[in-house]
Chains A and B, each alone.
Chain A
Amino acid sequence: MAAPLLEIKDLVTVFHTSKGRLPAVDGVSLTIERGQTLGLVGESGCGKSVTAMSTLRLVSSPGRIESGSITFTRDGESIDLVTAAEKQLRKVRGGRIGMIFQEPMTSLNPVFTIGNQIAEVVQLHRKVSRSEARSRALEMLRLVRVADPEQRLDAYPHQLSGGMRQRVMIAIALACEPDLIIADEPTTALDVTIQAQILELLDELQSRLGTAILLITHDLGVVAETCDDVAVMYAGRIVEQASAVELFSHPMHPYTKGLLQARPNVDARDSGPLATIPGMVPPPQDFPSGCRFHPRCSHARKPECNEESPSLREISSGHFVRCHFAEEINS
């Protein structure tokens, strides 16, 4: 069996601050196969973005990858992105792995035209002339279905709408035909109708180009509609992982269940108050002992939950849950 495209193993990323050593990501393992979409869901501060940044080793000081491995395999050749030389890593960034950020306004450089910015990425990773790079940029704008691509090539970021900018970001990410795109909340800043456009576009491009996507979001709906597999993060750890169909039809971890039940909709209207998860997401300096969810969990039992940290166990085929009592709760 061929190695997966990207395999993250026991990744630990810590921030050393005045508050001490903060493990923002604490033992995360993920696998992404070629052409697949993996959703990484969680609330703010759960470490999902840090995981994404760690993957490209873009975590800035005082953050540091402390341990773990990130194996990226292409054409039977594997490199560990954690230990790889900076030069090798630069080839991967933007070349083999593209990145899309949440805020399309600030992730585009305001003083360059968008044509320049797309062409720059192409020239960085391929030996092409300026005019070739420019025509590639034009091609990319067509690909992401920007209207009037010839004129837009010479437009500046501020002249474009939010949705348009996010299309440009996708064009930049795709310019070098990467094997993987890491999309960090790509539609959070956009309106629903624009979000629908962008998700549609990503989906279409993926099936056409066979790119794998690591989609990071807090929106369960987005994940349900676009992802093959889902991993739910809480307080620096993955608490549940399964295929999207399985996860949304049979959520097993109390946190995942709570998140799903907390979503308001018209059906829940007359059936009393929404189910809530009491308390709030703990910041890294206050991660509780044992199971990190136990102070907010209605199933928590002493002493197991607050003393012993549960492991991520396979409860049913392909469905991993980090809970001592997963079977019991779900029977």
Chain B
Amino acid sequence: MRVTEETEAAKPSRGFWSDAWQRYRRRPIGMLALCFVLFLTSVALFAPAIAGTKPVVCSYKGNLYFPCLGYFNRSWESPIFTKDKFRGTYPENLKQKDPESWAIWPLVFQDPYRRVRENEWPGRRENPSRDEGHPTRLNLFGTDQYGVDIFAKMVHGTTIALLVGFVSMGLAGSIGVLVGALGGYFGGWVDMITSRLTEIVMCIPTLVLILALIAVVEKPTIWKTMAIIGATGWTGIARLTRAEFLRLRQTEFVMAARATGAGSLRIMFRHILPNALAPVLVPITFGIASAILVEGSLSFLGFGPPPPTASWGSVLNSARSNLQLWWLVVFPGAGIFLTVLAYNLVGEGLQEATDPRLREAKK
């Protein structure tokens, strides 16, 4: 006779991540932070539709166009507008060159790169500049000394802020996980090489390296900055991954997988990595926050992306010589502060939701 142990089949099985999500959801602060991050992401995605001087959609000479995409990439703005000499001012030109045309405009008619001129939007006066540029109904966050709208700059700068975080940490994460996994799994001389490499890279001061690069490279772009932040920021992740791999490769389930006939690659990526991922994700989240800070500091020091790019740091930079224009400090400062805070809170929530030790302590 066999004892058959039936398990109650009523409630569905929850895996580790859905379980972690259930725990994460119970933390109001973490959820608030997560919502803020999601909000920023959507702001970054829809920036041209929120603030801009180019129509989101317009019908011109019988065709539909999306000129606002030009904010992401110059070439995505249809060449017809260059050919017809719009020169970036749409409301007037559209009506003049095609009376039949219509357009859907961004929520806020302001441009992140230039001052909005008088009557560019019918009946609206020119953006104020210098001391007069304090926040008004038309310029929500005020304008800088050249009359460029800060709100538009902030909205478009969100893209940069998030991109810096994701790209650099994506790079750092991939390098770190790979290096750590190799060292931790194979041990021996592989571990020796990867560990020493990690230690060497750890000694490189990121900020100084970036400054040196900017001095040497002819055209410092935001992408190169991201690459450097990523290429130097993986050491912590590598060490953590290595420790996790060292621990996990001793476990019996890994032994069992080997006994089943699984090879090294399969064990590393199918058996160990999913178990090591949670503790590695946490520093990546914190890393995103610190990458945003690094970019902010760089731009503030004036080593940020060159002028046409709108970034929060560069707004701060413009405040450096005009400290009495408080709105140039408060809004980008608050933006950076809140974003960094939100990422850190998300990271902390993630840690609490996934770390079994913290979970037990709560019990």
Contact = CB atoms under 8 A, between A and B. Distances in A.
B3 A278 contact: yes
A62 interface: yes
7 contacts: A17-B363, A62-B363, A276-B3, A278-B3, A279-B3, A279-B5, A280-B5
A17 B363 CA distance: 7
A279 B3 CA distance: 8
Interface in A234-283: 276, 278-280
A200 to B, nearest CB: 34
Contacts of A278: 3
A62 B362 CA distance: 9
Interface in A42-78: 62
Interface in B316-363: 363
Contacts of A280: 5
Nearest to A278: B3
Interface in A261-316: 276, 278-280
Contacts of B363: 17, 62
What is the interface of chain B mostly: helix, strand, loop, or mixed?
loop
Which 7 A-B pairs give the minimum distances between C-beta atoms? A278-B3, A276-B3, A17-B363, A279-B5, A280-B5, A62-B363, A279-B3
Q: Chain B: interface residue count, which band?
A: under 10
Contacts of A279: 3, 5
What is the interface of chain A mostly: helix, strand, loop, or mixed?
loop
A295 to B, nearest CB: 12
Interface in B1-55: 3, 5
Nearest to A286: B8
A276 B4 CA distance: 13
A62 B5 CA distance: 31
Contacts of B3: 276, 278-279
A178 to B, nearest CB: 31
A45 to B, nearest CB: 15
Interface string B78-113: 000000000000000000000000000000000000
A212 to B, nearest CB: 33
Interface in B100-156: none
A280 B6 CA distance: 11
A278 B363 CA distance: 30
Nearest to B1: A273
B213 to A, nearest CB: 46
Contacts of A62: 363
A17 B360 CA distance: 12
A288 to B, nearest CB: 14
A27 B32 CA distance: 45
B240 to A, nearest CB: 24
Interface string A1-20: 00000000000000001000
Nearest to A17: B363
Contacts of B5: 279-280
Interface string A122-164: 0000000000000000000000000000000000000000000
A62 B363 CA distance: 7
Nearest to A61: B363
A209 B256 CA distance: 50
A224 to B, nearest CB: 27
A17 B3 CA distance: 32
A127 to B, nearest CB: 37
A62 B361 CA distance: 11
A215 to B, nearest CB: 27
Contacts of A276: 3
A53 to B, nearest CB: 15
A17 B359 CA distance: 13
A62 B3 CA distance: 35
Interface in A14-36: 17
Nearest to B6: A279
A30 B3 CA distance: 35
Nearest to B8: A286
Nearest to B4: A278
A62 B360 CA distance: 12
A298 to B, nearest CB: 12
A279 B8 CA distance: 13
A290 to B, nearest CB: 20
Nearest to B3: A278
A135 to B, nearest CB: 40
A276 B3 CA distance: 9
A276 B2 CA distance: 11
A43 to B, nearest CB: 16
Interface string B151-188: 00000000000000000000000000000000000000
A282 to B, nearest CB: 12
A280 B3 CA distance: 11
A70 B3 CA distance: 41
A280 B363 CA distance: 23
Nearest to A280: B5
A17 B362 CA distance: 10
A271 to B, nearest CB: 15
Nearest to B26: A18
B173 to A, nearest CB: 33
Contacts of A17: 363
Nearest to A273: B1
A276 B5 CA distance: 13
Nearest to B363: A17
B81 to A, nearest CB: 60
B25 to A, nearest CB: 13
A228 B363 CA distance: 37
A17 B5 CA distance: 27
A272 to B, nearest CB: 11
A279 B5 CA distance: 7
Interface in B277-307: none
A240 B5 CA distance: 27
A217 to B, nearest CB: 24
